[in-house]
Amino acid sequence: MAKGTDAKKVIELLNQARASELTAILQYMAQHYELDDADFGKLATLMKATAIEEMKHAEALAERILFLGGTPTSTPDGAAKKGQKIAEMLATDIGLETGAVRMYNESAVACAEARDQVSKDLFESLLAQEEAHLNAFQNTQDHIRQLGDSYLATLTGGGE
């Protein structure tokens, strides 16, 4: 892609996504620590694995930004919420992932309009992974709603 006005717009989209990924990393790692400390090892492991995937997303976005001649942001677009109960954590996570899915869909379309197929493909690849995260969080939330404390008991111990 030629470096110019379209590239600037794409770099802005990539940096917006990167800032969102940085927030997700902080959120999921904070939850990992809290859940692990509370002996919810299985759920803590899910949060850590999701955070690591988000780290890979942030790195891929940074690499594309650098290729286009931009400077990757290192500033998250939000702060990690701490001290939440599991239901609140999942609501927070579903909100983050829903926002990412919406943003990446819109960004893929904007990149196609800017004739940047590589950035479009990147957003679509990340989108599929964010949808998987969203599905995992929604499923866990549904299990807790349907099964309550008996399901939460299955998430204790057995972490990494």
- Report pTM: 0.93
| Contact predicate 43/140, CB 8 Å | yes
Which tokens hold the place of 22? 């940085």
Compare 141 and 5 and report the one with higher pLDDT.
141
Distance (Å, whole) CA 146 – CA 29: 26
Cα 82 to its chain centre, rounded Å, is: 17
What pLDDT score was predicted for residue 157? 82
The pLDDT of residue 79 is above 70: yes
Number of domains in the chain: 1
Residue 139 lies in a domain: yes
The pLDDT of residue 4 is above 60: no
Residue 129 lies in a domain: yes
Residue 159 lies in a domain: no
Residue-wise pLDDT for 121-132, tens only, equals 999 999 999 999
- Give the largest CA-CA distance in the chain: 57
What is the crossing angle of helices 41-67 and 5-37, to 10°? 160
What does the pLDDT average to over 36-53?
A: 96
Residue range of the domain that includes 117 = 5-154
- Could you give the C-alpha distances from 95 to 52, 134, 135, 137, in angstroms and in order? 19, 9, 12, 10
Residue 160 lies in a domain: no
CATH code, 25: 1.20.1260.10
Residue 144 lies in a domain: yes
Averaged pLDDT score across all residues of the chain: 95
- Could you give the C-alpha distances from 108 to 116, 123, 126, 144, 151, in angstroms and in order? 9, 5, 10, 34, 38
What pLDDT score was predicted for residue 158? 72
Residue 73 lies in a domain: yes
Residue 124 lies in a domain: yes
The pLDDT of residue 99 is above 90: yes
Residue 10 lies in a domain: yes
| Contact predicate 116/6, CB 8 Å | yes
